[in-house]
Structure 1
Amino acid sequence: MAVDPGMVDTILGTFRGMARELKEAGNDSDDARECFSALETMERLALEMDDLGAYSTKLSVDGLFTDFSTAYGRALASNSSVDGDSSDDQLMANTLKSYEDALNDLKSKPSAAHLVPVLQEVVDKGKSGLSYPLFLKECEEKGLFLGLDSPRVGPTIQYDIYCARISFRPVDRELYERQLEAYQDLVNRSAFGYPDPVEWEITRQKLEWEYEPRQILWKAIEDRWDRMLDMVQDWVDSFCSFAPHDERWCGMGGVNSRAQTMKNIQRTQECEPGMLQVREEIFQEYFDLSWNDIFIHPTFLNQQENGLLWYSDQAIDFIREVHEIMHPGARPDSDMISRAEKQHNSKAYVRQDRATAEAMTPMPFPEFLNTIEWA
């Protein structure tokens, strides 16, 4: 999976334009070829990587921005069509045009609004009448070039927090909140208000490595108790009159469809209790959690309290009751089967206050930018 093409266009748009100018001018100097090579590397990395922050940091750490700009300046200076006495003026004009083109491109993309301010400062500095050497000196001393290279990820981290919050992912939300805190700390420690890209990348990766085991554990526990709940519900339902018509057991069709369906039902009735016991033993061994621990575990409570759980509270109570008698060779009594049929027919097993897809769908990032302070 590649980095988002729209964001790659934002980052590389200026460099593509500068490279295009060299080609159109017929500049085939070694310096021009160095520009093309640096741009090709940046394009290749965009296809190989999938994280925007890591990609931007990689370009900065490997010095690709600097390599391209330095070679570009030499390529223009060596161009025979540029008079030696006016090379600085030409460099200033070309550089300013490239920055202005990039700025206009950013302004046309709402999702890049948070990237505009620092580039606007560079353009304003270029229009102030400074010579090219003084322009470079001023931008360097005021940290503007650092600002261009620095990852402007504050708003994107806030967006990650927002997405984790509305989708009820507490571990992810905690990770992103830690990232935002660490990022802001780097901003505050920077003389120019722009974190060093290398330091930020190291900080980001350390936090992700710290939280990855917790994220994996959370998902693993969630997946396993979810399956165990289904197994109990399937077992009691397999004794109901609707079972031969339920898609959980229906055969694939043909002359043997009915026979296959009944065989599937029999397998659930006879094998599910034993398979559940094996799963419970593994659950206990791997996670030190018993069946009863499921219902007080944070993964379960998070789903129950936020409407993510498929089963209603009534259905959960019934599942726990069925579990007490679900053993190999056992069979639910007629009252329990009757209650299972009634629950199925009324669809009382489905949680009525489930979170909707609409409520859990995040607003677009450009719209989110209007709700936070990021300048």
Structure 2
Amino acid sequence: MPVDKAMADSILDTYRNMYREMEEKGAEGESFQAMNAALNRMESLAQETDDIVDFTAKLTTENLFIEFSNAYSETMSGMVKEEYSTGRGDELLLEKTLEAYENAILTLEDHPNYELLKSPIEELIELGRSGVSYPVFLRIAEEKGLNKAMEGDLVLREAIISDKTFAEFMHLPLEVEKHEKVLQVHDELSSHAPFNVPDSFEFGLERQKIDWEYAPRINQWNLIIRLWEKMLENVYDWLDSFCSFAPYDDRWADMRGKAYTMRNIKRTQECNPGVLKAREKIFQDYFQMVWDDVFNHETFRNEYAANRVWYSDERLELIKKTYSFCIPFNKPDSELIHASEIIHTEKRYKRPEAFQYSSEDKEKFISIFGKEKWDEFFGKYEK
């Protein structure tokens, strides 16, 4: 009983197709006959054996895979030599080159920068189909810089611009500044380079220098924001912990019962002033800034403009007034507590536009990713 046909076909079809390809191309000679002999032996074994393991073992021990592959390589080599001997060498090379370019376009269809990548390849194909010889094709491609264009410099520049636009969308000024420098270096190197394509290694080094220059500045910027956010939160929570709504607020309410809830409230009342002072010391030691500097600092102004400050203006003013009371073993003034309760009851504690994107932000996002992506990510939040 022969080996299961489906299993045998999964092994032999590759070799059958390779043989058929050579046969259709009119292959002849000893190497082609060797291909035929090896394939016939494979077919015979498929009929003679009834176990797939035994079948593959015999294929391997008889070196049929290797014999077929070697014969195939010799047949291909012989056909290429024959093409050259008949004067079609350059013609064949050009044909194979253009065929490879056409296949490359097909593989790029799902690439986000498909149109940019496709353009220089199509120009090369058009040049190759214009009737020029292979040497002339190579010379013109080099003179026009088409080979360099295929390295993707157009895509690289577009990517830098996209990074800059995205940084603008996210309101990240240092990142915007960094990408502007990267773009400037790219264009400067391009202006002095053959075919206006910068050397990728040189550009990579320059870009890395810029990354190193901005990394500590960006880290500092982010740490400053993180610190003043926590400081504002310390004062905000401390004031609210003295309000009548505190036992019912998610910040303190504990499912285990009132005793646990009151313990949470007490912890905020007693610990937040000390935590605030510790953070203020870090703020001053590392960034030479104090509480009053926060609201005029570029990080705060930027976060406010980007709608990333959660608190309403009214709540921010109340936090500022509360700050001087937020010291260990102290309590906020009763007027501050009353004002906080009114703001909470009327739900005026959150800035209406907090974490909302402006129309300008929307345009920037769409310019990079398209309206479909905007609708997917943010459409449901639009008012």
TM-score category of the 2 structures, normalised to the smaller one: 0.7 to 0.9
1:338 is matched with 338
Q: Distance in 1 between matches of 2:221 and 2:245?
A: 35
Q: Which moves more between the two structures, 355-364 or 186-195?
A: 355-364
Equivalent of residue 117 in structure 2, options 104, 115, 118? 115
The equivalences for 1:28-47 within 5 A come to none
Q: Distance in 2 between matches of 1:170 and 1:88?
A: 55
Partner SS, residue 194 of structure 2 = coil
Partner SS, residue 78 of structure 2 = coil
Q: In structure 2, list runs of 5 or more residues that go unmatched.
A: 1-16, 23-72, 372-383
The equivalences for 1:210-221 within 5 A come to 210-221=213-224
Equivalent of residue 161 in structure 2, options 154, 158, 163? 158
* TM-score normalised by L of structure 1: 0.72
Whether contact under 8 Å (2:241, 2:269) holds in the other structure is: yes
Partner SS, residue 307 of structure 1 = coil
1:194 is matched with 197
**Residue 149 (structure 1) aligned with residue 161 (structure 2):** no
Equivalent of residue 178 in structure 1, options 166, 177, 181? 181
**Residue 327 (structure 1) aligned with residue 316 (structure 2):** no
Q: Distance in 2 between matches of 1:237 and 1:288?
A: 29
Equivalent of residue 81 in structure 1, options 69, 79, 82? 79
Partner SS, residue 80 of structure 1 = helix
CA 1:260/1:22 → structure 2, altered by over 3 Å: closer, same or farther? Answer: farther
CA 1:289/1:132 → structure 2, altered by over 3 Å: closer, same or farther? Answer: same
Partner SS, residue 79 of structure 2 = coil
For residue 110 of structure 1, report the CA deviation from its aligned partner. 5.6
The CA deviation string for residues 53-89 of structure 1, in whole angstroms up to 9 with x for no partner, is: xxxxxxxxxxxxxxxxxxxxxx999733322333332
Q: Distance in 1 between matches of 2:354 and 2:275?
A: 29
* TM-score normalised by L of structure 2: 0.71
Q: Distance in 1 between matches of 2:194 and 2:91?
A: 31
- After superposition, the CA RMSD in angstroms is 2.8
Aligned-residue sequence identity (percent) comes to 36
CA 1:261/1:217 → structure 2, altered by over 3 Å: closer, same or farther? Answer: same
For residue 106 of structure 1, report the CA deviation from its aligned partner. 4.2
Q: Distance in 2 between matches of 1:77 and 1:156?
A: 46
Partner SS, residue 81 of structure 1 = helix
For residue 355 of structure 1, report the CA deviation from its aligned partner. 4.6
CA 1:343/1:22 → structure 2, altered by over 3 Å: closer, same or farther? Answer: farther
2:351 is matched with 351
Q: In structure 1, list runs of 5 or more residues that go unmatched.
A: 1-20, 27-74, 369-375
Paired amino acid for 1:221: I
Q: Distance in 2 between matches of 1:77 and 1:279?
A: 77
Whether contact under 8 Å (1:110, 1:366) holds in the other structure is: no
- Number of paired residues? 297
The equivalences for 1:277-292 within 5 A come to 277-292=277-292
CA 1:23/1:150 → structure 2, altered by over 3 Å: closer, same or farther? Answer: farther
CA 1:23/1:138 → structure 2, altered by over 3 Å: closer, same or farther? Answer: farther
Higher RCO (CA 8 Å, separation ≥ 6 residues):
1
1:98 is matched with 100
Whether contact under 8 Å (1:164, 1:172) holds in the other structure is: yes
**Residue 231 (structure 1) aligned with residue 229 (structure 2):** no
For residue 184 of structure 1, report the CA deviation from its aligned partner. 1.6
Bigger Rg over Cα:
2
For residue 140 of structure 1, report the CA deviation from its aligned partner. 2.3
CA 1:98/1:321 → structure 2, altered by over 3 Å: closer, same or farther? Answer: same
2:206 is matched with 203
